[in-house]
Amino acid sequence: MRYGFVIDQDRCIGCHACTVACKEEHSVPIGVFRTWVKYIEKGAFPDTSRHFGVLRCNHCDNAPCIEICPTTALFRRDNGIVDFDSDRCIGCKSCMQACPYDALYIDPDTHTAAKCNFCAHRVELNLEPSCVIVCPTQAIIAGDLDDGASRIGKIVATQKTISRKPQKGTEPKLFYIGIEGDLLTPTKLLQQPSHFWAEKQPGENGYDEAHQYNALASNGAVSKASQAREVYDVAHPAPWGWRIAAYLWTKSIATGLLLVAAFLIGFGYDPKEPALSTVPSAGALVFVALTAFLLVIDLKRPMRFYYLITKPNFGSWVVIGTYILMLYGALATAWFVYSFVTSAAPQTIVFLSASAAVACATYSAFLFAQAKGRDFWQSPLLFWHLLIQAVIAGAASLRLIASATGAHGTLISTLDEITVLSLLVALMMMTIEVTIPPIGEDVRYATDLLIRGKLKFHFIFGAMGIGTVLPALILSTSINPAFQEPVRLAACVLALAGIFIFEDLWIRAGQAPPLS
């Protein structure tokens, strides 16, 4: 049994009855929607046309929201309905990033994720979903897709139907008849400064790009006659913000400190050197704590953070990453205790800490890979980019520590060399990321935003220039001895700042392409 929907847009009159019925049935708060109607317009006056489509959860057979949910708050019923349990939700918003269809939202009253659940409580009583009941033209058909004798089974078997983003591999169970193709490719729609019934709000998809609409049209960059224009949609704010960028930044410092220190100890540097023992291990603990703090305060239900331990979904990299972070914190504690008591950590602790540091620095690549709604984050270079960022952060931080603790000049020179080399590798990776042919329209959209759009100044002059090229030049160039040390310390600070700038831009650009 696999319950699904067919929406016949040839019958739909855009009356919004389904939206109203859904809100009433589930007490959906103002400003968020489980089902909504989107409008687009094509052509130029007097030859114009308006098209609309009903959008909602696709109840996928291979639902990425279920895979990424860390507390199994999202689950699939025996009848194929993808449902949710708000009592288990911690509000991490990962499911919103995993869904390619913008179907999930954070309920402003409960602060937990919610979406269309096929009116599962009605289905249990052999009743149809509320949207089906109220549709005046019977444009919404619900039922068992596996039952060839059912109305929905016959329609899917005998009529031409299409689904949204089948290339995602989610196996959606929402099918359309007669929908305008441009409605299914939101990145190709021309954004406008407002909707015809309301102004756009900050944080809404298309808000930041809307000011470009008139300029693009007047300059001939787009054709008003041929470009489909979005004229009505509901708001879909970006789920993640500066806290996630800051979490990636603090984690790179926390892991880099012991990773680079372990590397140097392995190559013969004195493990009793304060810049390689107590100070970096203490710093690693501080930044691990900051990383955990940022993750907790970004939750919409932060007091439920312990559900990651008590109600875990071990298939989610949110959970796996939590355990890796805890393991690394424990090893950093052991390194600090041994260094404090005996002046040096044993080789076993050093090796285990380095291994855990690599895992802790890079697990986010697998987490973002589970965010299947965001194509820009699916880069195969992300694992290596996170690793090299940890090396930059560790080497730059240890360089600051070495200067403050009066470390030997050889160690300082080696740290300068490691920082320069890792910055050059990072520069190469950033260049590759934005120059290789995009794998899809969403990646092109995000990449254009970084190198040609409103983020280009911050990316080219901030992340690449001031945060990468400039510190590499300073650290590799001879300077007047009177100014050399303070200037090189400033370069290390710039390198650390460059990592945060990049992470912030990477998070923003990845969430910029509209999903619906």
* Stronger pLDDT, 202 or 77, i.e. the higher one: 77
For residue 319, the enclosing domain spans: 242-511
117 vs 306: CA distance, rounded Å: 26
In tens, the pLDDT along 206-221 reads 555 544 444 444 444 4
Question: What is the percent of the chain with per-residue pLDDT over 70, rounded to a whole number?
Answer: 93
Per-residue pLDDT, averaged over 453-460, amounts to: 92
Residue with tokens 């179907």: 103
According to DSSP, residue 427 is labeled H
Q: 197 pLDDT exceeds 80?
A: no
pLDDT at 227 over 50: yes
Computed from CA positions of residues 462, 468, 472, 473, in that sequence, does the dihedral angle turn out positive or negative? negative
Last residue of a domain, one of 178, 213, 232: 232
Query: What does the DSSP 8-state code read for residue 304?
Result: G
SS (H, E, C) 343-385: CCCCHHHHHHHHHHHHHHHHHHHHHHHHCCCCHHHHCCCHHHH
Is the pLDDT assigned to residue 224 strictly greater than 50? no
State pLDDT tens for residues 266-294: 999 999 999 999 999 999 999 999 999 99
CATH code: domain of residue 384: 1.20.1630.10
Assess whether 79 and 121 both reside in one domain: yes
Verify that 226 and 268 share a domain, yes or no. Answer: no
**Is there a domain that residue 237 lies in?**
no
CA distance 368 to 273: 37
Dihedral sign from CA coordinates of 460, 465, 468, 469: positive
Residue 208 near residue 243, CB atoms below 8 Å: no
If asked whether residues 45 and 194 sit together in one domain, one would say yes
pLDDT of residue 203 exceeding 70:
no
pLDDT at 190 over 90: no
Are 213 and 150 part of one and the same domain?
yes
Q: What is the mean pLDDT of the chain?
A: 91
The candidate with the shortest Cα–Cα distance to 236, out of 112, 86, 110, 106, is 106
Pair 204, 327 in one domain: no
Q: Is the pLDDT of residue 123 over 80?
A: yes
| 516, part of any domain | no
What does the alpha-carbon distance between residue 360 and residue 387 come to, in Å, rounded to a whole number?
Answer: 9
pLDDT, one tens digit per residue, over 108-119 is 999 999 999 999
Do 119 and 193 lie in a common domain? yes
pLDDT score recorded for residue 400 = 96
Q: Cβ distance 495 to 232 under 8 Å?
A: no
**pLDDT at position 159:** 94
Dihedral sign computed on CA atoms, order 362, 363, 369, 375: negative
Residue 224 is assigned to a structural domain of this protein: yes
Q: In degrees, to the nearest 5, what angle opens at C-alpha 233 toward C-alphas 379 and 504? A: 35
Strands 74-76 and 3-8: unpaired
> What value does the mean pLDDT take over residues 483-503?
95
Q: Are residues 254 and 340 in the same domain?
A: yes
Which of 228-237, 278-287, 425-434, 458-467 is predicted with the least confidence, judged by mean pLDDT?
228-237
On whether both 311 and 175 belong to a single domain, the answer is no
Q: How far is residue 50 from each of residues 10, 53, 107, measured CA to CA in Å?
A: 13, 11, 31
Residue 21 or residue 232, greater confidence: 21
CATH (domain of 21): 3.30.70.20
Amino acid 218: pLDDT: 42
pLDDT band at residue 477 using 50, 70 and 90 as cut-offs:
confident
- Is 13 domain-assigned? yes
Q: What's the total number of domains in the chain?
A: 2
| Co-location of 321 and 387 in the same domain | yes
Looking at the fold, whether 284 and 181 belong to one and the same domain comes out as: no
Alpha-carbon distance 334 to 433, whole Å?
Answer: 38
Tokens at residue 302, please?
């932060």
Output the pLDDT for position 195: 67
pLDDT for residue 472: 96
Residue 201 has pLDDT above 80, yes or no: no
Share of the chain above pLDDT 90, in %: 79
Average pLDDT over residues 51-70: 96
Burial of residue 247 (number of CB atoms within 10 Å: 0-12, 13-18, 19+)? buried
> pLDDT tier at 225 (50, 70, 90 boundaries)?
very low
Distances, alpha carbon 337 to alpha carbons 102, 103, 340, 342, 351, in Å: 47, 48, 5, 8, 16
What's the rounded mean pLDDT across residues 464-489? Answer: 90
Query: What is the reported pLDDT for 205?
Result: 58
Global pTM?
A: 0.92
pLDDT on residue 220? 46
* pLDDT tens track for 420-437: 999 999 999 999 999 988
pLDDT range class, residue 506, cuts 50, 70, 90: very high
**Residues 121, 27: one domain?**
yes
What are 321-367's pLDDT values in tens digits?
999 999 999 999 999 999 999 989 999 999 999 999 999 999 999 99
Last residue of a domain, one of 201, 232, 263: 232
458 within some domain: yes
Which of 232, 261, 282 is at the close of a domain? 232
Average pLDDT, stretch 252-274? Answer: 95
